[in-house]
Amino acid sequence: MILASSPHFSSPVTSRRLMANVLIALAPVTLFGIYLYGFPALLTIVVSVAAALASDAGFRLLIGQKPRIDDLSAVVTGLLLALVLPPSTPLWMTALGAIFAIVVAKEFFGGLGANVFNPALIGRAFLIMSFPAAITTWHKPVGFSAPLTDAVTTATPLNIIKLGGTMTDVGKSFIASGVATSTDYNSVLQTLFIGTRAGCIGESSILLILLGGLFLLVTKTMDWRAPISMIVTAFIASWALGMDPVFGTLAGGLIFGAVFMATDYVTAPLTARGKLIFGFGAGLITVLIRKWGGYPEGTSYGILIMNAATPFLNRLIQKKYGYVAPKKGAA
C-alpha cells in the first residue's frame, strides 16, 4: 500500500497535457501558415521542431540527465520559433536558431522552468542579429503554387508603413500578391484579420490566433491578463502616438506574441498583478520600437525585455487571507 501524505489523488492535468493544449491551439495557425506559404513554411516547421527535440535530448544526455522530450516542451519551443520566422528562412539558420533556443536560452539556465527568457523569442532574436537580411526577407502568400525563388518576396504591411507608406500602399501590395482586389481601408483590415499577407509563418491570421487563444482560455491553459493587457496597452499607445491603432493591432506579430508568448508560463509572471504589468510593459515597448526603433516590429523585444522584469514582478504577491498590517512602531 502507498503511504504518501495527503492529498491522495491529483488533477489529471499534467505539464505534458498543458503543452499538448498549446500545440492544439497552435494547430490552426500552423496549418494556415503551410497553406499560405507552401513548402518553405512546411520545411521550416519540420526542421525547427526536429532541431529543438534533438538538441533538447542531446544536451541532456551530454550533461548526464534524463532526456525530457516526452514533456513536449521542446516541441512547443521548436514550433513557436518556426511560427515567428519568415517562411523562406534558410533551413540551416532555422536549425541553428532552434538549437540556440533550446541549449542557450533554456538548458544553460537549468532546463524547463528555470529559463529567464522565452526560448523561441531568443532563438528569433539571435537569428535577426546574426542574419538580418535573411530574417527580413518576406515570402509572398502564394501557397504551394510558386517555386522557391527570390522572385516571390515582398514587404510586410508594417515594413511598408515603417518606410513611410500609407494604408493604400499596403492595399496595393495585397493586390500585387493577388490576395485582395481593393485598396479600400476596410478591405485592407479585413485581409489583415483573415491573414492572407506576407509575414512570419504563424503571425498573420488574427482570426486563427484568436481561435487558438480561445481554446487556451476555455481549457484554462492560459490566463487572460497578460495578453489582454498587452493588446489594450499597444492599442492605446499606438493611438496616443499618432499611429493607426487598428492597423497596428492587426498587422505584425502583436496578437501572436500576446496570445502565445506573453502567456509562456516559465518566463511570464506568476501573479495576477504581475501579469497585468507584464502585458502593459510588453505592449508599450512594442509600440515604442515600432514608432522610434530601427525595426518595423517590436513585439518580440517587448516581451523579452519584460521577461527580464518577471522575477521582480513575482514579488507582487496578493495580500494573504486574513492579512493584518504590521503595527506601526513594532520591531
Partner 1 sequence: MAIKTFKGGIHPPERKAATTGKVIERIAEPKQVVIPINQHFGAPNKALVQVGDTVKKGQKIADGAAPGPMTVPVHASIAGVVKKIEPRTQSNNLDGPCAIIEANGTDERDFMPPLDAFSCTKEEALTRIREAGLVGMGGAGFPVHVKLNPPPNKPIDIVIANGAECEPYLTIDEATMIEFPHLVVEGLAIVMKIVGVSRGVIGLENNKVRALGALEKAIAEHNHGMDISVQLLKTKYPQGGEKMLITAITGKEVPSGGLPMDVGVVVQNVGTLKAIAEAFIEGKPLIERGFTVTGGACKTPKDIIAPIGTVLAEIPDSEVNIDETRVVKTIFGGPMMGVAVPHMNIPIQKNTSGIVLMTAEEYGRDTDEEGPCIRCGRCIRACACRLSPVIMNNALNAGELEQAAKIGLLDCIECGACTYVCPAHIQLVQRFRVGKQLLRNKRASQPKANA
Residues in the site for partner 1, rule: CB under 8 A? 1-15, 17-18, 71, 73, 111-114, 223, 265-266, 270-271, 314, 317-324, 331
CB of 123 to partner 1, least distance (A): 19
Cβ distance to partner 1 smaller for residue 16 or 181 = 16
Omega before 40 within 30 of 0, i.e. cis: no
Return the number of the residue (270 or 308) whose C-beta is nearest partner 1.
Answer: 270
Interacting residues of 317 by C-beta distance below 8 A, sequence separation 6+? 271
Q: Which is nearer to partner 1, 113 or 132 (CB)?
A: 113
To partner 1, the closest distance from the beta carbon of 314 in angstroms equals 7
Location of C-alpha cell 544536451: 59
Pick between residue 199 and residue 213 the one whose CB is nearest to partner 1. 213
Phi, psi of 231 (to 5 degrees): -70, -45
Report the nearest approach of partner 1 to the CB of residue 318 (Å): 5
| Backbone phi and psi for residue 164, each to the nearest 5 degrees, phi listed first | 95, 10
Minimum separation from the CB atom of position 310 to partner 1 (A): 9
Smallest separation, CB 64 to partner 1 (Å): 16
Choice between 132 and 311, CB closer to partner 1: 311
Q: Which three cell numbers stand for residue 289?
A: 520600437
Least Cβ distance, residue 16 to partner 1 (angstroms): 8
Residue 62 or 317 having the CB closest to partner 1: 317
Q: Distance between CA atoms of 189 and 192, rounded to whole angstroms?
A: 5
What are the angstrom distances between the C-alpha of 85 and each of 47, 128, 157, 306, 316?
12, 9, 16, 21, 34
Helix boundaries (H) for the chain: 15-37, 39-62, 73-83, 91-99, 119-130, 157-162, 167-177, 185-194, 206-218, 225-240, 245-250, 254-256, 272-292, 299-313
